[in-house]
Amino acid sequence: MLMLIDHANVEAIEKTLDYLPIDGVTTNPTILYREGKEPLDLLRRIRDVLPVGSQIHVQIVSQRADDMVAEAKALRSALSGNLFIKLPVTREGFAAIPRIVKEGMQVTATGIHSSMQGFMAAKAGARYVAPYVNRMDNYGIDGVRVATEIHKTLRSYDMHADVLAASFKNSEQVLELVRQGVGAITAAPDVLAALIKNPATDAAIADQNRDFGFLIGEKRTWLDLVNER
């Protein structure tokens, strides 16, 4: 399962890369807008802080299929790396998916709010299909259930596509999709941080270290013991 960062703040991305096993970054127009920087330069900076080969997903903003294809080609020429072209699952986006795949680019179909959209985007040639879990929840649709259903459908037809679940507000939504074995998730740094944070862990380790401090002296470590030999 791949884990990606759904964010465009370079500092936040670097901090997350420091301690979590991350496979890339996803962006969308709103995420880039929030940073208030020239977006192409920002994407290049993000690519440069990521480990070589990491995925970087960038969303096309044109409305018509012809323009989407031209925009994707331009982006490809300007941004080297493991680029995924994000296309919305609008009528025009669907028309553009096979054309952009034919140009040798990888496509992530985005904005998915139903199982059928996910299946059809995979059939059209998208490598990833991105259901918006929390947004569906907010519409009264069970986002985790839809993402799981898309995953099971893709696997039952043995399609060359994976769910890249997006739009999370809490770690429980992510956990359920980890249980289901979806191919990838993308989440903001705070949601990713919550995946591993547990106060009980902090308390247990603090107790153990305090006890060892009684034995060898507070704040001292194995390093001190070894160096003193």
Indicate which residues carry an active-site annotation: 86
> Which of the ranges 100-108, 130-138, 151-159, 170-178 carries the binding residues for ligand G3P, by CB under 6 A?
130-138
Q: How far is the CB of 187 from ligand G3P (least distance, A)?
A: 8
Buried b (16+ CB within 10 A) or exposed e, 75-98: bbeeeebebbbbbbbeeebbbbbe
Is 119 a residue that touches ligand G3P (CB under 6 A)?
A: no
Q: How far is the CB of 130 from ligand G3P (least distance, A)?
A: 6
Is 89 a residue that touches ligand G3P (CB under 6 A)?
A: no
Residue 1 in contact with residue 181, Cβ under 8 Å? yes
Write the CA distances from 102 to 26, 98, 99, integer angstroms.
22, 6, 5
> Which of the ranges 127-135, 144-152, 205-213, 214-222 carries the binding residues for ligand G3P, by CB under 6 A?
127-135
Q: Which of 38, 47, 40, 59 is nearest to 10 (CA)?
A: 47
Q: How far is the CB of 83 from ligand G3P (least distance, A)?
A: 16
Task: Count the neighbouring beta carbons within 10 Å of the beta carbon of residue 193.
Answer: 15
Is 108 a residue that touches ligand G3P (CB under 6 A)?
A: no
134/173 with CB nearer ligand G3P = 134
Is 26 a residue that touches ligand G3P (CB under 6 A)?
A: yes
Of residues 6-25, which lie at the interface with ligand G3P (CB under 6 A)? 6
The residue from 44, 123, 135, 155 that contacts ligand G3P (CB under 6 A) is: 135
> Which of the ranges 45-53, 95-103, 129-137, 151-159 carries the binding residues for ligand G3P, by CB under 6 A?
129-137
Is 167 a residue that touches ligand G3P (CB under 6 A)?
A: yes
Is 128 a residue that touches ligand G3P (CB under 6 A)?
A: no
Is 137 a residue that touches ligand G3P (CB under 6 A)?
A: no
Residue 84 in contact with residue 128, Cβ under 8 Å? yes
How many chain residues bind ligand G3P (CB under 6 A)? Answer: 8
Q: Which residues bind ligand G3P (CB under 6 A)?
A: 6, 26, 28, 132, 134-135, 166-167
